[in-house]
Every structure is written in C-alpha cells, then in structure tokens.
Amino acid sequence: MQTFRTEIENPIVEKDIIDLANKIQLFNNGKIDEEKFRSLRLARGIYGQRQEGVQMIRIKLPYGKVKSNQLRRISDVSDEYSRGRLHITTRQDIQIHYVDIQRTPELWAQLDQDDITIREACGNTVRNVTASELAGVDVDEPFDVSPYADAIFRYFLRNPISQEMGRKFKVSFSSSDSDTGLSYMHDLGFIAKIENGERGFKVMIGGGLGSQPREADELYSFISTDKIIPLMEGVVRVFDRYGERKSRAKARLKFLIKDIGLDAFKALVDQEQKAIEFKSVAIDADAYVTSKPVEINEIPQVTIKDQKAFETWKSTNLIPQKQDGYVAIGIKVLLGDFYTDKARLLADLVENYAAGEIRLSLRQNIIIPFVKRELVPFFYTELEKLGFANVGYNKAVDITACPGTDTCNLGIASSTGIADELERVIKAEYPQYLEKDDLVIKISGCMNACGQHNMANIGFQGMSVRTPDKLVAPALQVLLGGGNLGDGKGVFADKVVKVPSKRGPEALRRILDDFETNANGKSFFDYYKVTGERYFYDLLNDLQDVTNLTQDDFIDWGTSEEYVKEIGIGECAGVVIDLIATLFYESEEKIENAKESFDNNVYSHAIYHAYSSMVNSAKALLIADNKRTNTHAGIISQFDELFVESGKLDLGTAFSELIYQINKNAPTKDFASKYIENANQFLAKVRAFREEESKLDQ
C-alpha cells in the first residue's frame, strides 16, 4: 500500500485513493488488463497523453467555481507534479499535463486537502456539471442555478448507476433564456424558469457535438426543482441499460433517443420509477454557501498610465452584475492557458478585494465576481501586472481552442497554433472585432469537438489532406453558420470547405472581408442565413487546391517540424475490451460494494451494484462464446436465449425475470438483501459453468 505524505480526512476519498494506488500496482505487476486499467484510471481523471509515459490530470470543478484556497492548492500540485501550467477546458475544468501515473494517488490526496476531486472527470461517467459562469450575479437570471448544479454534482459523484456507462454523460445549467450554459448541446440541460411563483427548469435532452451533432429535444417545458435529481436518475439508469457499448461512434445518449424516439425513451424512464428511492429531492438553495464580497474599508489609489487602453478594457471586459454597486470582470485567457505564479497572485487579489473566488467559463476564460465599482481602476492595474488585462473578453478576438496535437492522442492538426495566428490576424487587421460579441470563432483539433467548433459562427476542425503524389499535409475543415438561439435552441454549422492549415488565415480574411462589405449591419449568423453554404463555398473553393502546395504547407502552425499524421487511441470515453477473468473479478468486487452499501443502509446503491455484477457475469459468458455485447439490455436478452432457454444453465427462472426485479421493486432493505444474494448465486453458477466448459475445451 502506498503511503501518502498528507492525511486524508474524508474516509470515502481515502478509500478511493488507496484503491487507485492498489490498481496501479496490480497493473504494474501484469494482474489487470491494459484496456480495463484504462477505464479505471479515466474514471479517476487520469487521461493518457500523446507523449508516451505521462498523463493529463483533469480536475473536476463543478460549474467552474474555484475558491482562492483551491486555486493555490491546484497551483501547488501543478508545480510539484507537473510543469506549472494550468489549462482551462470548455467544461470549466482545469487540466495539468505531463504527470507520472505512479504519483497520481499522492496528487489526489494533495488536492483533497481543499475539497478538490479528479473523480469522474474523464471516462464513461457523469462528467463535470457545467453552468452559466455568471450564475448568482447574472442580471437576467430568475434565480441562482449554482445550488442546483452543486446538488446534481454531489448526488451523482460515485453513484453506482453512472460509473461504467457506454459513454460519457454531460449536464449543464443555464441561468436564463439566453442559454449561456448551452443546454441544446448537452445530454441533459436545465434552463432556469419560474412558473406561478415556483422555481423550476425547462429540460432539454439528447444533444451533443462530435462528428454527428444533434440538437437536444425538449423533455419538459417545466419541472419543479425537487424533481431534477429523480428525473436525471431515471435518465441515467435507462442510458446505462440501453445505451450502445460496442460501437464508440454510437454510444452517446443522442443516438439512443434518435433510434427509439423520445416517447419510447420517456416510457423507459417511467418504468424505472419504482427503483428510484426518492421521488422528490428538495434542494435547499438557502443553505447553499453563496459568495460574499469582503468588506473594503479603503479604496487603494492608483494611477492609470494609458487612459485610452483602460477605457477600451472597461468596454470589453466589465460585466454588469445584479448586485448593486458591483461588477464582474472578465479575464481573457489566451487558449485557456495560464501559469501558477500568476494564479497564486490572482487568488490573493480576489481573496483580499472581491469574494475570494473565481469562475471558469465555457470559453476557457476567468470571471471575477463581486468587484466594487470603485475598485475597477485598482483591479485593472493589478491585472495588468499579471498580464491579465487583455481586451476582448468573450468578443470575436476571443477564440476557443482545444489542446489538439499539443498533448491529445486524437489531435489531427494543431488547434492552438492556428488559434494563436487567427487572433493575431484579427488584432492587427480587424481591430473593430476587439469589441464585437456577435461573432464566435472556435477550433477543435479533430472531429470530437472539444473546442466546440460545430456550434460556432466560424469554426475550424483539424484534419489532413493528401496531395496527388500522396504527401500528407495538415488541414482545416471550415464550418460556418452555427449559433446559440437561446431557450434550448441552436444551429450547428455547415461544413463548407477543407483547406490546408496554412491557408486558414486567408480563409478567415475572405470571410471577414465579405462580411464587412456586404452584411449591412446584420450579425454574422443572420448574414450566413441569407447567403448560405454555396455562397461561401464559391468564395473559398480555390483554397482547397492541393496541387500547388509549398514546403511551408507541410509544417503545421506552432511547430517547425514536417507534419506527420499520428492519431492514438481516444480515451475520453473509450470502449473497454474486457477479459473474462477480469469480468468475474469485477463481479466479485461489485458484490462487495453492494454489501458495503447495504451495511451503510444505502439500499438503492446496494441494489445497483448487485445489478452491475449480474450484467458483468452474464457478459463474461457471452464474450467466452464470441457474442457481441452492445447494451446491457442486449446482454440480458442474449443470455436468456443462449444459456437459459437452451437449457445450458438452470436458473429456475429466466435471467430477465431475475435481473429486472430492479425496476419492479422499491429499494427496500429486504429487497436489497435478496437481490444481493441473487447476484452472488448467479456469479457462482456462471463461474462454475465457465470452469466446466473450459475443462471440455482442453
């Protein structure tokens, strides 16, 4: 067992960390299959990098809220275990890179000292719960969504129903009808509403980006706040059971809803209601610890050296706040990267002069809430010292980009390099765009859309092109016309042309020049609706020609080396290739987890662990028989057909009858006890059957 240098106060976290250390040791000793180990570490926020032998650690920060002490702790961890750089993601997380996996348990223990987790930041789990970055201060919000996002985060963290789904599950909360939480592109999105004086949410379901973006459906126009946790539990249970598991390309909730239809999906959720222990979960928003500004007795006096620069910054980076006398400050963080020396000074600044916290935004920026209006000049001078006074927060010049080929296994072309160049072009050639907030530019290094390129007005996706003589160069798919319409509606961008990466700036110039000349005051979104895909195809078509590439075209942005297309194994929601012995081992582990939950009187968790054990055990026999195991429901029906109905295995009843007791009974103590025993007996029977079959094969 590994010894940690700091004491872990939370026994649940301590068990998690010790378990991770033990699993790393088992993997090192060849006792755990590599693919299974990948699944395990991903669910603990540990993601393989493009560079061999090091990992990216994703730190889960619900709705992007980071207190000063937490920012200092993250900085300390980055300095000790990484390289002192922090990367803000489009899901309000912080990532640190180049970490030795052997040190990750110790790193986690350090983070826990300030109540920070990496649990379920990656993998086939409920990911970080995101929210409008202005939640709590938004002038348009009917109420603060932060307590509800926090409740969802806490309820589903370590919840057995969401540990090993077919793929990831993403949830967002929007403060108002502006839908700044982007509900239309989430598996489950909640938009704050008030009806008849009651707080609640409009619920959107089944949205997603990636290579096949899908706009979310409206599940409910309004549900009260006490219904959001039971609803999400039903949705996650159905996704876990019926969601695709074999084909990674079809394993998101959006494909399940598309295949069976929204009404059929709702019916499945209704069938789960008996299994859900709490039909109503009241969330006490008044008990939530909200941000409170510190008391300022004296306003520091400062001298502004460049008044014009200060006025421009105020026009682009100050955000109105609903609390009288306060504003929020937006910090434009280039590519979402900043360093620990600046982070610590920022933590001190907000602790002493604001509310002791920052918020991370969906556009990879930082927001400081609760700045007294009289302190704005002081904050400007302090932020200027830190290099955090760049103008253009959330404006056209503020380009979102994923890490791309810098560190990601899936990156095809550099997203950070081209983003840096495009920002330079806009600043130098289109200075008027420093203040435009109706033009959104986003870049992803591959089709998986971590940079959210296909929801942008102007998007770029990393690709490659092949010349007639079979040389490969980095390229960019240009996408146009996406946008957020508000209240759960959105439009995804059209794929217009594919150009060599070095022509990306020229493509942007042509688009902006045409827009400037012909839009007549329309927003880019509205202008594109009038002109359309064909118009811009004709405008950009000649840039697609790969017969006349120069040597420079074979060198991607941000590098001096010739381009080589290298795509590793995608891990963010990778499908696990399970070995039979590993599955049986897992089934035992799940039964132990069920017994532990039972002893702690958490019967709903105990039942789900037992359910997972039975599915695992059935899956083991199906894999041994070379059968596909696409979904939990498919595993159950196939097992009945191949082993029970054929008479190979006598369970005394159909396997489906045995296992589907889960959604026909309330999660009582008696049922939990009986169901755990069913799982134990089932594991013993399938294991004995497998041993007999193995003997016959010898």
SS (H, E, C) 9-63: CCHHHHHHHHHHHHHHHHHHCCCCCHHHHHHHHHCCCEEECCCCCCEEEEEECHH
Coil, strand, or helix at residue 176?
coil
Same domain for 435 and 541, yes or no, is: yes
Distance CA 455, CA 254 (A): 16
Same domain for 426 and 366, yes or no, is: no
Please check whether residue 103 lies inside any domain of the structure: yes
**CATH number, domain at 368?**
3.30.70.3340
Q: Give residue 245's pLDDT.
A: 86
Coil, strand, or helix at residue 366?
strand
User: What is the number of structural domains in the chain?
Assistant: 5
Please check whether residue 2 lies inside any domain of the structure: no
| Parts of the chain with a pLDDT under 50 | 1-6, 569, 572-578, 698
Same domain for 378 and 404, yes or no, is: no
Structural domain ending residue among the three candidates 336, 360, 385: 385
Beta pairing partners, 57: 46, 96
Same domain for 271 and 182, yes or no, is: yes
Please check whether residue 562 lies inside any domain of the structure: no
Give the residue numbers spanning the domain of 346.
307-385
The crossing angle, in degrees rounded to 10, of helices 376-385 and 340-353 is 160
Q: Give residue 579's pLDDT.
A: 60
Q: Give residue 697's pLDDT.
A: 56
Residue partners of 356: CB distance under 8 A and separation at least 6: 67, 68, 291, 294, 350
* Closest C-alpha to 124, from 584, 680, 568, 578: 578
**CATH number, domain at 262?**
3.30.413.10
Mean pLDDT computed over every residue of the chain: 92
> Which pTM value belongs to this model?
0.91
Give the phi and the psi of residue 103 in degrees, each rounded to 5: -100, 0
Q: Give residue 299's pLDDT.
A: 93
Distance CA 136, CA 156 (A): 23
